[in-house]
Structures are given as structure tokens and as C-alpha cells.
Amino acid sequence: MWAVVSASVIGTSHEASATICQDSCHVLRSRIAENDVLLIAVSDGAGSASHSHIGSSESVQHLLRVVNRDAPELSEIDANKVKGWFQEVLEHLVGVADRESVALGDLACTLLLAAVWPNGAAFAQVGDGAWIVDKGGQLISATWPDVGEYANVTVFVTTKGALHMDEEGNAAHLQFRRLDGPIDAIAGISDGLQSLVLDFACKCPSEPFFRKIFDHLRAADDETQMIAPLHQLLASDVINSRTDDDKTLVVGVWRDTAAALCDGTPE
Amino acid sequence: MDQTGFSIDGSDLATNPEHRCPSILLLDISGSMQGEPIRQLQEGVTVYRDCLLSDNLAQKRVEVAIVTFGGNVEVIQSFATAVSFTAPTLTARGNTPMGEAVVTALRLLEDRKLQYKAAGIQYYRPWVFLVTDGGPTDANSTHWSDAKEMITQGEAGKRFSFFCVGVEGADMERLNELNSARQALKLTGLEFKKMFQWLSSSQQSVSKSNPGDVVPLENPTAGPSGWATV
């Protein structure tokens, strides 16, 4: 089964200006078409949007609610299906904006989704951040930050045209990727971490970082003991000396409990 | 205890090049700038470099190029961070080929963006800062119409922010014709120092910003640090 921990920690620049952390993360263990499916959503609220902390938390909750309710055959999870889910989140945000008496743009946030089942996975994203997986010992970036032309510009779920897809199914900003075969470990990051753990020249994840993070979680007997250390890591000087933005890291590793139980002694 | 945490060190992190904020100074050094104006302008450029140097991020991220126009057009400084450029000696001479200078500067900028992209370097929206005390002497050439067209396209496509600053005697109407998207600013007296402090501090804010941040610029025409009128 999956051992998963996540943390969202406020950036030093937001701490200085006494705002709150605008990142959100939500994890749900779902049962879809007779498969155990791990669902994870990550969202980063825009620094310039006044209520983006509400936008990000509403988005991650609603997205997983919708996926869990929809529970499609796993083979049916494609770009179109995901677009429909993101569209529902957008509609939900319109209602939230109404409830909070703010403009939709005040809830601006990115949105990342991962669905992992025993023999495959699907990833989707609008905006910055990324999904990184360990698949048979190989680190793969399943999605990549949609950075726009400029370093301080990205696309949000609430951005006009963010979910647009042409007739041939090519999306301008909604990334979608399916991977076949079992996933051994998964990590999701928000943009606060992306220039620290992704190499933009080779467009690849930082191997030592993700390998260590995955190994540390694998080595833990009980993942709940790893929540505080994850917070400590994200609030550490090593990280904060390189980013002043909010940052989220969610890490999951697959544990073959059945095998462990039968065998008793790990090799 | 070591086994129960997430411990990483700096060397586990990716080493991406710093984000860059390209900035072009487009300086009129034509004959009419002779004397106090060119002396003050030169001092202003030194202040600009020193201000950038005093900021940890700006000194690594803001890259300055200088194009002068006076008699001819010259790239006297190709893109460099504050550490690696020395404020040049400016000598006033000749006429004012402003259109040609704009075209040269904007081509330089597009080349730089291509280099950034090839190297996987992220960058901020570039700044172009034109300073003049006169009007173009090439307004009847294709350079001038090309310059206007490039600025119109560039501002509309958010490819850069183009500021025109007129010193006493400048043809403000021409400057507003050159960039119809952004009103030209009239420098108060010879406040080049304040102008460059503003430019540096605006670029410091931008070069710190994260995705989704909006960076409000201070109004250059108001308050004690104001240096211009419109």
C-alpha cells in the first residue's frame, strides 16, 4: 500500500508580509473500478490574488471529491475526462467567489492532479509545479512547470482559456500524461520548490534530491512519524536560502505489504 | 535518529542559473547633451550600477546593456550584470539617430532572449529605457517607422516594457509617437540620479518576484523620490 506524507510551508517573503500560506495539498485513498487508487491534488494560490489561499484549498478538495464521485474505468481517464474535472473545479470556484464576494481572479491558483493505481497512473496540471515519479528505478518528470515566457508569470485555473482544447484535443495549458505499469514512488511539488529540485537546462528532476526523499520515506516504519520532519525540511535553511515562496512537497512510496508479511524478513 | 528524518544538503538540489532581468539603456549622447546633461547622465549610470550591486539578487539577475546614439549608433556595453560592467565614459557628439538606435536595441534584446531560452534560463519581462534631450534626426527614414512598429508590437505582446524619458528640450510629442502605449516621462531638471535609483529599485522588486506576483511600480511622478512629470 501507499505511504504518503505531505506538507505546505509558508515562504519567508509571505511570512515577512504577514500573509498566510497559499499552497494546499489533499490526499485521498479511493476505490475506483475495483482498484485501490491514490489521488493527490496540489495547488498554489497566486501571490497577487487576495483570496488565493481559499482558491487553492477549495480546488484540491473539490477536485478529489469530483474524481472520487466520478470513479471512471481507469482506461477512460484521458485528457478530455480530466478537462471535465478541472472544469467542475472552475465552476465550483465561481460559486466560492460568489460566496466570498470576491472576483474569480482573487481565487487564482494552479492545480495539479495525480491518480495512481496498481498498474498505471495519470497526471494533469495547469500552471507551475510538477509530478515526479520513480518507475522501476528510473526518475521521470510526468509533468513540467508551465512557466510562460517570464519567470514571474504562470497560468492559473482561473485564467481565461486555461482549460481550452482545440478540436484535435491539443490543450494550450492543461497538461495530461498517462504512464502504464506500476509506479514505485511519487512526488508532487508546487512552484516554490521547482527551481531547487528541477534542472531547467536538461528538463529533468534532481536525482539526488528525489532519491533521498523517497529512500527516507521508505526507511520509515510509520509515515505519520515523517510529517514533522517534512515540515522541518521545507522550513530549513537549505531550502529557504534558495526560495522565499510558499512550497509544497507531497511524497508517496509503494510498500509491498503482502510480500513483507509472507516473507517476514526483508532482504 | 538520522534515519527518522528527511535530511538533504545543498548539493542534492538542482543548480539552475539565476533568473535574468534584461535591461537596456538607450542613451542620447548627441551634441546637444554636451556639458552638464551628459556629465549628470554619466553619473546616473554609475549610481544605477552601484544600486544594483547593493542588492543580493539584483546584482546576479539584472543584466544591463547600453546603446548610445550620437552621430552613430553604438552598443557600448553588451548584456552584463552589475559586477561585470564599468560605467562607460560618455562623450557628446553628432546628431540623433534615435530610430536606428531603437531597432538596434530591440534586436539585441531578441538575441539575448534566444540565448536565455537555449540555456534554459528563466527571465523577467525586459526593460528598455530611452533617454533623450532632443528629437530623432532619422524620423524620415525606415528606421523610425520600423522602431515605432517594433515598439507597438512589443508592448502589445508584453515582450518588453519601453520607457521614454525626455530631458529639458526633448520633443515629447515625438516620444509619445514612438511609444503610443506608454506615456513619455519628462525628467525634472537633471535628476538622473533619482531616475536610476527608481529604475534599480523597480528592477530589484521584479527580480525577487515569484510566479503570480504582481509587482507594483512606484509612481515616478510623485513623492520625494519622484523624478519626472508627464
Encode chain B in three state secondary structure. Answer: CHHHCCCCCHHHCCCCCCCEEEEEEEEECCHHHCCHHHHHHHHHHHHHHHHHHCCCCHHHHEEEEEEEEECEEEEEEEEEEHHHCCCCCCCCCCCCCHHHHHHHHHHHHHHHHHHHHHCCCCECCCEEEEEECCCCCCCCCHHHHHHHHHHHHHHHCCCCEEEEEECCCCCHHHHHHHCCCCCCEEECCCCHHHHHHHHHHHHHHHHHCCCCCCCCCCCCCCCCCCCEEC
CB proximity A264 to B under 8 Å: no
Name which residue leads in pLDDT, B201 or A27. Answer: A27
Q: Which of A186-190, A225-229, A262-266, B114-118 has the lowest mean pLDDT?
A: A262-266
The model's confidence at residue A28, banded by pLDDT at 50, 70 and 90, is very high
In this structure, which amino acid lies at residue B90? L
Q: Which of A15-19, A236-240, A242-246, A258-262 has the lowest mean pLDDT?
A: A258-262
Average pLDDT on A164-170 reads 85
Nearest CA in chain B to A195: B16
Rounded Cα distance, A45 and A60, in Å: 11
- Grid cell digits, residue B163: 520607457
Of A154, A196, A198, which has the smallest distance from its Cβ to B212's Cβ?
A: A154
Average pLDDT on B13-22 reads 90
Q: Are A211 and B13 in contact (CB under 8 A)?
A: no
The model's confidence at residue A267, banded by pLDDT at 50, 70 and 90, is very low
Asked if A201 lies within 8 A of B5 by C-beta distance, the reply is no
* Closest of B183, B178, B197 to residue B69, by C-alpha: B178
CB proximity B19 to A under 8 Å: yes
Write the DSSP symbol of residue A115.
Answer: E
Mean pLDDT of the residues in chain A: 92
Average pLDDT on B134-155 reads 96
Name which residue leads in pLDDT, A18 or A2. Answer: A2
Above 90 in pLDDT, residue A9? yes
* Domains of chain A, start order: 2-263 (3.60.40.10)
The alpha-carbon gap from A35 to the nearest alpha carbon of chain B, in Å, equals 30
Average pLDDT on A60-74 reads 96
The alpha-carbon gap from A46 to the nearest alpha carbon of chain B, in Å, equals 5
pLDDT (tens digit per residue) in B171-230 = 999 999 999 999 999 998 888 888 988 998 888 888 877 777 777 788 888 877 788 887
ipTM: 0.84
The model's confidence at residue A258, banded by pLDDT at 50, 70 and 90, is low
Average pLDDT on A217-223 reads 92
CA B14 to chain centre: 30
pLDDT (tens digit per residue) in A70-82 = 999 999 999 999 9
The model's confidence at residue A224, banded by pLDDT at 50, 70 and 90, is very high
Among A126, A150, A215, the residue to mutate for chain B (most B Cβ within 10 A): A150
The model's confidence at residue A259, banded by pLDDT at 50, 70 and 90, is low
- pTM reported for the whole predicted model: 0.83
Residue A128: the pLDDT is 93
Number of CB pairs, chain A paired with chain B, less than 8 A apart: 125
The alpha-carbon gap from A204 to the nearest alpha carbon of chain B, in Å, equals 10
